[in-house]
Structure 1
Amino acid sequence: MKRSLVLCIVFGALSAGPALSGEIREHTTYFMVSGKSFDELNRQLGMKGPDIGGGDRHAGSTEVSFKSDTSYKAVPGGCRIGQARVKLDLRTTLPRWSAPSNSTRETRVLWKTLRDDIATHEAEHAHIAKSWLKRIEDKIRSLPAEANCSLMESRANAEIRAMIKHHDADQLAFDAAESKRIDARLKRKLDENMSRLAAR
């Protein structure tokens, strides 16, 4: 007996299913921003960045998609998980700037500092998703047999839904923590990069 499960949760776009062996595919796309000053670039991020819901534009985004097919195997006295295949698709969107020849060195340093921080932030979202893929795999592997395959399927799906809620909470908690520390971190990195520039 083979079943597919798709769940959608708002974090970029998220769907999920039972997992026994993981396959991860990653893809990065870029949106272009223009301008010769940092203020112009910052406005461009607000105008052209990805919209992940609510109409607000973001400087970057990571779309997470878990997809799987699961089989259930009848055994003496009941039913257990047969095989399950899962794919984790990660689609990251980041900004790219082609610096004009008359942009200042300071603007270039400002942009590099911000761009690198955005990329690091989105990489952490991907890391969180990968860690939950492993947890889902381990959880489904550990499920005991049920009296029949209908119950086995219901149990597996319920466990996955619960784990996806925890995954979603982890992603939101990370964003909440980032909102409190990003200004201080960017200032520290910018001061370091500007000091290197001045020392040249």
Structure 2
Amino acid sequence: MRRMLVRVVAGSLLFIPPSLAAAQWAPVEQVKTYTVSGSTGIELYSQIGEKGPLVGGQMRTIAHTDFKLLWSRNYQPQPDGSCKLVSARPSLTLIYTLPKAGKMPGALKAKWDTFAEGVRRHERVHGDMIVEMVKEIEAVSIGLTAADDPKCQKIRQDLTARLGEISKRNRERHRDYDKLEMNNGGNVHQLIFKLVNE
């Protein structure tokens, strides 16, 4: 229930030791909501189908985790003609879109609260996966060196290729997780079942 948007910006920073750099960043979280209403679980779920986040311009979903990722990177030519990436600092914003319900009868509210909390926890796992991906990118980036690269061009191509592989694995992780959660008997499937059945 998430899609990704990556924006990468190359820049420069003063040298920061890798251990210190890794300890200094944390993701920023934004939560967006859309409102549904109804007097039954089926009505609420029907509203989700009408108002939920539109993913890929084609399909509505219950919730959505997106992110914006910016990088400040310091490439430094070395005396031997190589280039080294001495620091790579991420700026990560996680963007959660979640359903929010208006007023409803007390018994339905209890069911909705269980559903909404389960959806929030599901999306939080997607957020954690994104953070793990960024940490992997950081680990691969800092200290990366390219020989015979005085203008620091080869190293950028090398890094781009490595990031492509990391991104591909990340997308597969998210797909596998959603498949597990949405399949018959999965956590999200059970949340929906309990909401719509009286």
Pair in the same fold by TM > 0.5: yes
Q: CA deviation at 1:23?
A: 4.3
Q: RMSD of the alignment, in Å?
A: 2.6
Q: Take 2:166 and 2:114, find their aligned partners in 1: how far apart are those partners?
A: 35
| Cα deviations by residue, 1:87-142 (Å, 9 ceiling, x for unpaired) | 11111011111224xx2x33122211211111111111001001111111111125
Q: Take 1:187 and 1:90, find their aligned partners in 2: how far apart are those partners?
A: 25
**Which of 63, 69, 74 is 2:72 aligned to?**
69
**Which of 161, 179, 183 is 2:182 aligned to?**
179
- After the TM superposition, which parts of structure 1 deviate over 3 Å for at least 4 consecutive aligned residues? 16-23, 183-188
Stretch moving more, 39-48 or 54-63 = 54-63
Letter in 2 for 1:48: K
Q: TM-score, normalised by structure 1?
A: 0.78
Structure 2 unaligned residues grouped into runs of 5+: 11-17
Report if aligned partners of 1:73, 1:81 keep a CA contact under 8 Å in 2: yes
Q: How many residues align?
A: 178
SS of structure 2 residue aligned to 1:166: helix
Q: Take 2:134 and 2:75, find their aligned partners in 1: how far apart are those partners?
A: 20
**Which residue in the other structure is 1:197 paired with?**
none
User: Are 1:85 and 2:89 counterparts?
Assistant: yes
Report if aligned partners of 2:87, 2:142 keep a CA contact under 8 Å in 1: no
SS of structure 1 residue aligned to 2:35: strand
**Which residue in the other structure is 1:42 paired with?**
45
Stretch moving more, 26-35 or 65-74 = 65-74
1:141–1:45 Cα change, 3 Å: same
Q: Take 2:88 and 2:128, find their aligned partners in 1: how far apart are those partners?
A: 22
Report if aligned partners of 1:16, 1:164 keep a CA contact under 8 Å in 2: no
Letter in 2 for 1:158: A
1:166–1:16 Cα change, 3 Å: farther
**Which residue in the other structure is 2:132 paired with?**
131
Structure 1 unaligned residues grouped into runs of 5+: 1-10, 195-200
Letter in 2 for 1:119: R
Identity among equivalent positions (%) equals 24
Q: CA deviation at 1:74?
A: 0.7
User: Are 1:33 and 2:36 counterparts?
Assistant: yes
1:31–1:187 Cα change, 3 Å: closer
Report if aligned partners of 1:16, 1:160 keep a CA contact under 8 Å in 2: no
